[in-house]
């Protein structure tokens, strides 16, 4: 590792993983932390526990704001472990001079999103720092969820599973890029930011055989698939044509030089579902407005263990690697 922290070390990809492993996991080593996927499983497997700090810039963007993001982000992490979000803490660091009206809008967004999850904020912390010590406002939310479906884990994916996504990918990353560069676009592009618990609950209620779930935030779908391939010692073969990508996102990726599958999402999740239930899972997801493009995107094989392969329409194939480099900082 370099002597100084680089932006790439917060990318949700390779460099980020290295920093976490070499500094944090090394010092804090324990069994629960090692098993942590999107949230820690504690209290005899009854509860899920997860934290996230939000530093997104700009604070308000098409489809959401930092407040909505802060609730969705943490609640989604809990939902991905089969937990119902219950209790959240909310800790803010505010820059001196920040507009109270903006703070109130942000808190209102949080409140609305909490209701969708049936969760409540039970504690918080409010720090105000001198101008220049923080850019506007950072929010940490940490949540506790009650596990309603045990055993969901990305260590257990096998060739008996199919890999799904609930919607078209990359909208959050593309939206933030457009907002930050102040690109004028007459498009319907907006962040996918949404609470996923209702969809997870619907799958659980319908007794869908869920192997693993993961929201594809920083590092996008690529990061998730690569992590899963390693954790379960499998090969994931993605059918490029099946990957739902909107024209707007595809266009912005051409400008950015990114893969849509590396762009961050905030209401998009990847699912590993037992083959016999995959079609039914897609049908259930499609009932939700923002998941009308839910589909199966990949199969699990033994072709190249611990790797993700992207099979193109023309019969060619290439590896899809864990994202690396700077990507977009302050995406969430």
Q: Is 191 in the site for a copy of itself (CB under 8 A)?
A: no
- State the nearest-atom distance from the C-beta of 314 to a copy of itself, in Å: 38
Q: Is 228 in the site for a copy of itself (CB under 8 A)?
A: no
Binding mask 24-43 for a copy of itself (x = CB under 8 A): x--xx-x-xx--x--xx-xx
Q: Is 115 in the site for a copy of itself (CB under 8 A)?
A: no
Q: Is 45 in the site for a copy of itself (CB under 8 A)?
A: no
Binding mask 125-164 for a copy of itself (x = CB under 8 A): xxxxxx-xxxx--x-x-x-x--------------------
Q: Is 58 in the site for a copy of itself (CB under 8 A)?
A: no
Which position among 13, 14, 47, 59 is part of the footprint of a copy of itself (CB under 8 A)? 47
- State the nearest-atom distance from the C-beta of 298 to a copy of itself, in Å: 27
| Candidates 91-99, 190-198, 253-261, 296-304; binding stretch for a copy of itself (CB under 8 A) | 91-99
Which position among 57, 158, 187, 304 is part of the footprint of a copy of itself (CB under 8 A)? 57
Q: Is 93 in the site for a copy of itself (CB under 8 A)?
A: yes
213 within 8 A of 166, measured Cβ to Cβ: no
Taking the C-alpha atoms of residue 90 and residue 73, their distance in angstroms, rounded to an integer, is 12
Q: What are the distances in angstroms from CA 266 to CA 20, 205, 311?
A: 21, 23, 26
Three-state SS at 176: helix
User: Is the Cβ of residue 281 or residue 328 nearer to a copy of itself in the bound state?
Assistant: 328
Q: Is 7 in the site for a copy of itself (CB under 8 A)?
A: yes
Which position among 75, 79, 94, 229 is part of the footprint of a copy of itself (CB under 8 A)? 94
Question: Quick one: which of 188, 300, 204, 312 has its CA closest to 251?
Answer: 188
CB neighbour list of residue 80: distance below 8 Å, 6 or more residues apart:
37, 38, 39, 152, 196, 200, 213, 214, 215, 269
Q: Is 257 in the site for a copy of itself (CB under 8 A)?
A: no
* CA within 13 Å, CB half, 262: 20
- State the nearest-atom distance from the C-beta of 317 to a copy of itself, in Å: 33
Count Cβ atoms below 10 Å from residue 86 Cβ, excluding itself. 18
User: In sequence order, what DSSP letters do the residues of 236-263 get, joined into one string?
Assistant: EEEEGGGS---HHHHHHHHHHT--GGGS
| Candidates 18-26, 186-194, 254-262, 263-271; binding stretch for a copy of itself (CB under 8 A) | 18-26
- State the nearest-atom distance from the C-beta of 301 to a copy of itself, in Å: 32
Taking the C-alpha atoms of residue 99 and residue 102, their distance in angstroms, rounded to an integer, is 5
- State the nearest-atom distance from the C-beta of 279 to a copy of itself, in Å: 34
What would the two tokens of residue 318 be? 């290439």
151 within 8 A of 63, measured Cβ to Cβ: no
């Amino acid at each position: 590792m370099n002597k100084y922290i680089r932006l790439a070390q917060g990318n949700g990809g390779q460099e980020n993983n290295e920093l976490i492993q070499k500094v944090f996991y090394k010092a804090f080593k324990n069994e629960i932390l090692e098993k942590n996927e999107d949230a820690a499983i504690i209290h005899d497997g009854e509860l899920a526990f997860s934290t996230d700090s939000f530093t997104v810039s700009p604070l308000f963007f098409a489809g959401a704001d930092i407040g909505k993001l802060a609730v969705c982000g943490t609640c989604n992490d809990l939902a991905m472990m089969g937990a119902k979000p219950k209790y959240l803490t909310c800790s803010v660091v505010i820059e001196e001079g920040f507009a109270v009206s903006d703070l109130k809008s942000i808190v209102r967004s949080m409140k609305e999103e909490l209701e969708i999850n049936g969760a409540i904020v039970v504690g918080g912390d409010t720090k105000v720092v001198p101008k220049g010590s923080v850019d506007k406002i950072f929010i940490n939310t940490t949540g506790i969820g009650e596990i309603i479906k045990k055993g969901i884990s990305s260590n257990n994916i096998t060739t008996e599973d199919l890999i799904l996504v609930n919607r078209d990918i990359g909208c959050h990353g593309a939206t933030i890029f457009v907002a930050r560069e102040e690109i004028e676009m007459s498009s319907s592009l907006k962040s996918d930011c949404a609470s996923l618990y209702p969809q997870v609950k619907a799958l659980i209620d319908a007794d869908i055989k869920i192997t693993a779930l993961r929201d594809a935030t920083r590092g996008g779908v690529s990061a998730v698939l690569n992590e899963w391939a390693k954790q379960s010692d499998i090969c994931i073969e993605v059918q490029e044509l099946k990957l739902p990508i909107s024209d707007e996102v595809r266009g912005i990726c051409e400008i950015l030089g990114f893969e849509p599958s590396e762009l961050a999402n905030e209401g998009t999740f990847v699912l590993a579902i037992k083959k016999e239930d995959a079609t039914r899972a897609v049908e259930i997801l499609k009932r939700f407005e923002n998941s009308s493009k839910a589909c199966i995107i990949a199969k699990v094989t033994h072709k190249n263990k611990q790797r993700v392969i992207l099979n193109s329409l023309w019969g060619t194939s290439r590896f899809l690697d864990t994202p690396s480099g700077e990507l977009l900082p302050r995406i969430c």
